[in-house]
Structure 1
Amino acid sequence: MMALHPKVIDLTLDRVWRLLAALDHPEGRLAPVIHVAGTNGKGSTLATIRAGLEGAGLWVQAYTSPHLARFHERIRLSGGLISEEALAAVLDECERANGGAPITYFEITTCAAFLAFARDPADFCLLEVGLGGRLDATNVIDQPRLTVITPVSIDHQAFLGDTLAEIAAEKAGILKRGVPCIVGPQEDAALEVIEDRAARLGAPLLAYGQHWHVWEERGRLVYQDERGLLDLPLPRLIGAHQVQNAGAALAALRALEMEEPACEAAVTRAEWPARLQRLTEGRLVEAAGRAELWLDGGHNPAAGVALAEALGRLSPRPLHLICGMMNTKDVAGYMAPLAARAETLTAVSIPGETATLPAEETAAIAKGAGLSASTAESVADAVRRIAAEVPNARILICGSLYLAGRVLRDA
């Protein structure tokens, strides 16, 4: 499938529409869709919405990307992750229907997900945008039940534009006429673009700071909108940014008229790997000895800011980073907020990824950001070295979801 189109990313909907037509339009037979776009927090917000809906006893499907350890993670049916047999069947069916025509890997696998969802009874179908929104392969649902736009920041400039306004315009491409949209915290330049498109489409906005508010108070999450106030436990997912992500999820659940038990389930049951995840078992944990081992897949400047803030809230321990990044990212922008938190950074290349930034280049950029940096041949080597030198360290493996996936697969 990856050989069917020379470009990994080629944003257009023409190939998707052609294949969906050949499959008799499964996208028109889905359960009510909640479509989620944004730069940061898409996956966490979707996972929190799913936990809330499932907490209300509903059957929920979910499409997310990228996967970490297994492709099956991308397609969650109402009974759990898609089985090997069912995945092979829909992929084969899509390949036959496509007939060898050019189509990207993400496009054909998205069509396979729609085919699986159309045959699986459910109450809701949650779709996470892969890249952008306007021309993303998921943006083929005429009338979703709800759309959500999480915080927009600078990322993927080669595909989405160089300015925040241009990127926000691509994200706002998921808005549909008359369909309510939940909007997470945004910079003014992004919010103006989203509001303008919503006004033109007659899409009601429920925006953070205007229609709903969320904050942490005395170790609790407080959410307020026109329906009233919720006093809930802090999110299971760690970090102040997860309070904001939970707020967007709660706004979505309230727009769907879910009651308080569903809202509490949303924040207490949500799981989303590689988002400041504490690793507690496996070979790397054994190699770490008494050192704490954490994993995070954030990879842009906004993620760096959120990560630095969340790390500052943990109990004091010397922080040492193991970092591998892709060569398409703003590495210096990601590292800048972390430089004040970390004592060292050990750079690694990401195994099996042709677009990995070489460890030597990552280390050089880290030094430019003010970090004491070195390189290691592998994550395992870096963990052993840090644990030997600083037995009480907090070791954070970070910089890329691809690196996080490799760690989880090898754990």
Structure 2
Amino acid sequence: PSYFEFLFYMAMALFADETPELVILETGLGGRLDATNVVENPLACVITSISLDHIMYLGDTIEAVAGEKAGIIKRQVPVIYDDTVPEASEVIRERAVQMASKAYPVGKGDFSILETKDQGLSIKAEGEAAQAFAAAGPLVLEIPFEAPYQAENAMLAVKTAVVLGQRERGFRLTEAQITEGIRTARWAGRMERAGENLYLDGAHNPGGIKAFIQAAASMAARQKKKAYLLFGAVSDKDYRAMARLLCEGISWAGIGVVHIDSSRSMDTEVLAEAFSQAYKGPVRAFETAGEALREMKKQAGDELLFCAGSLYLIGELKVQLKGMERREDT
């Protein structure tokens, strides 16, 4: 078994002993052939946003990737899915029909953004999710993330809670429970504010990078600050497409690339060359996360520093940040 499969089977043995009320399983890669897909009768299946990722395993089109993801849909089990990519949605709907499963799309029409703040978003639920709590008035959610895509993620969670409540009386959540759950959510490595003017985002494929760009550009404009980028990637990712998108989407004040401590890491020379194709300024190269973080923070000063390209990189940077905190404490 792979590391993920071994960990999954350990978890299932633990759950069998502890008998939790509810288990949320996230697929490791794809869905149709994923180890987690051995669960035969889940309460619900949830499919988040789909973009090109792991193309050597899942296919090189949105439709192919969506087909693998839709493989988690079980017969007559409801599926709640991100409805913002038409090509993916069509595949998911067709699979739901084949499995006689009721499909619940979540798109832009399911919420409206009331306010964007430095520490998060305020949104109002619309559609079916709002109707479920209509008696209590408008369902307003305070999302503790500044990235616009987190509004869609929040509504996926809310719609799932509503669907579960309709199916299982014991899982009905109140408006207060839902608003508190969203308000206190924490998601490490997803546009995470890790320090003053420092943000960590594990975006590691073109789709994730597009969402990252949207969020970073909005934050820099709102705060009237320049944006700096620290980027690292592993070799099985489309780093050239990510570099091109990053340079087209934001006018960076400075860019640094870093070698991740992994056998799969891309060489900094290769990453720097990819960025130099679209970026007019110099690209700084670093061999360790510690050096990269210190130097890029120094270069950015009071402006914004965004770190992206790999969750492995984000993990290394968080270790470095903890070390810095310990040294400051002593």
1:2-17 → structure 2 map (5 Å cutoff): none
In the other structure, the counterpart of 1:358 is 267
Indicate if the aligned counterparts of 1:130 and 1:136 stay in contact, CA closer than 8 A: yes
User: Aligned partners of 1:269 and 1:371: how far apart in 2?
Assistant: 41
**Deviations 1:266-306 (Å, cap 9, x if unpaired)?**
320111101111123xxxxxxxxxx6222111111111111
Matching of residue 217 in structure 1 with residue 114 in structure 2 = yes
Matching of residue 327 in structure 1 with residue 235 in structure 2 = yes
User: Aligned partners of 2:12 and 2:84: how far apart in 1?
Assistant: 30
**Deviations 1:23-73 (Å, cap 9, x if unpaired)?**
xxxxxxxxxxxxxxxxxxxxxxxxxxxxxxxxxxxxxxxxxxxxxxxxxxx
In the other structure, the counterpart of 2:33 is 135
The CA deviation at 1:390 is: 4.1
SS in 1 for 2:41: coil
User: Aligned partners of 1:388 and 1:110: how far apart in 2?
Assistant: 41
Greater mean deviation of Cα atoms: 229-238 or 398-407:
229-238
Q: CA RMSD of the aligned region, Å?
A: 1.8
User: Aligned partners of 1:383 and 1:136: how far apart in 2?
Assistant: 35
Matching of residue 394 in structure 1 with residue 292 in structure 2 = no
Matched residue type, 1:222: K
Indicate if the aligned counterparts of 2:230 and 2:296 stay in contact, CA closer than 8 A: no
User: Aligned partners of 2:100 and 2:141: how far apart in 1?
Assistant: 35
User: Aligned partners of 1:387 and 1:157: how far apart in 2?
Assistant: 34
SS in 1 for 2:126: strand
Indicate if the aligned counterparts of 2:74 and 2:99 stay in contact, CA closer than 8 A: yes
In the other structure, the counterpart of 1:183 is 81
Out of 191, 196, 200, which is 2:98 matched to?
Answer: 200
Indicate if the aligned counterparts of 1:195 and 1:205 stay in contact, CA closer than 8 A: yes
Indicate if the aligned counterparts of 1:343 and 1:371 stay in contact, CA closer than 8 A: no
SS in 2 for 1:107: helix
In the other structure, the counterpart of 2:328 is none
Out of 100, 109, 115, which is 2:7 matched to?
Answer: 109
Segments of structure 1 that go 5 or more residues without pairing to the other structure are 1-102, 281-290
Matching of residue 296 in structure 1 with residue 201 in structure 2 = yes
Matching of residue 369 in structure 1 with residue 274 in structure 2 = no
Task: Judging by fraction of residues, say which structure has more helix.
Answer: 2
User: Aligned partners of 2:107 and 2:72: how far apart in 1?
Assistant: 21
Segments of structure 2 that go 5 or more residues without pairing to the other structure are 117-121, 166-172, 323-330
Indicate if the aligned counterparts of 1:216 and 1:234 stay in contact, CA closer than 8 A: no
Cα pair distance change 1:306/1:209, threshold 3 Å: closer
Out of 214, 217, 224, which is 1:316 matched to?
Answer: 224
In the other structure, the counterpart of 1:260 is 175
Indicate if the aligned counterparts of 1:304 and 1:336 stay in contact, CA closer than 8 A: no
In the other structure, the counterpart of 1:243 is 151
User: Aligned partners of 1:310 and 1:357: how far apart in 2?
Assistant: 25
SS in 2 for 1:362: helix
Indicate if the aligned counterparts of 1:296 and 1:397 stay in contact, CA closer than 8 A: yes
Greater mean deviation of Cα atoms: 104-113 or 329-338:
329-338
User: Aligned partners of 2:291 and 2:37: how far apart in 1?
Assistant: 42
In the other structure, the counterpart of 1:151 is 49
The CA deviation at 1:321 is: 1.1
User: Aligned partners of 1:321 and 1:390: how far apart in 2?
Assistant: 9
Out of 21, 25, 30, which is 1:123 matched to?
Answer: 21
The CA deviation at 1:336 is: 3.1
Cα pair distance change 1:272/1:209, threshold 3 Å: closer
SS in 2 for 1:221: strand
Indicate if the aligned counterparts of 2:233 and 2:260 stay in contact, CA closer than 8 A: yes
**Deviations 1:99-147 (Å, cap 9, x if unpaired)?**
xxxx222212111110011111322100001000000011011110011
**Deviations 1:285-334 (Å, cap 9, x if unpaired)?**
xxxxxx62221111111111111111122212221111110111111222
The CA deviation at 1:194 is: 0.7
**Count of matched residue positions in the alignment of Structure 1 and Structure 2:** 297
SS in 2 for 1:233: strand
Normalising by structure 2, we get a TM-score of 0.85
The CA deviation at 1:338 is: 2.6
Out of 379, 384, 395, which is 2:294 matched to?
Answer: 384
The CA deviation at 1:387 is: 3.9
The CA deviation at 1:163 is: 1.1
User: Aligned partners of 2:71 and 2:127: how far apart in 1?
Assistant: 26
Cα pair distance change 1:234/1:332, threshold 3 Å: farther
Indicate if the aligned counterparts of 1:145 and 1:179 stay in contact, CA closer than 8 A: yes
Matched residue type, 1:224: E
Cα pair distance change 1:143/1:368, threshold 3 Å: same
SS in 2 for 1:206: strand
SS in 2 for 1:406: helix
Matched residue type, 2:110: H
SS in 2 for 1:272: coil
Instruction: State percent identity of aligned pairs.
Output: 29
Indicate if the aligned counterparts of 1:322 and 1:345 stay in contact, CA closer than 8 A: yes
User: Aligned partners of 1:382 and 1:405: how far apart in 2?
Assistant: 14
User: Aligned partners of 2:244 and 2:224: how far apart in 1?
Assistant: 20
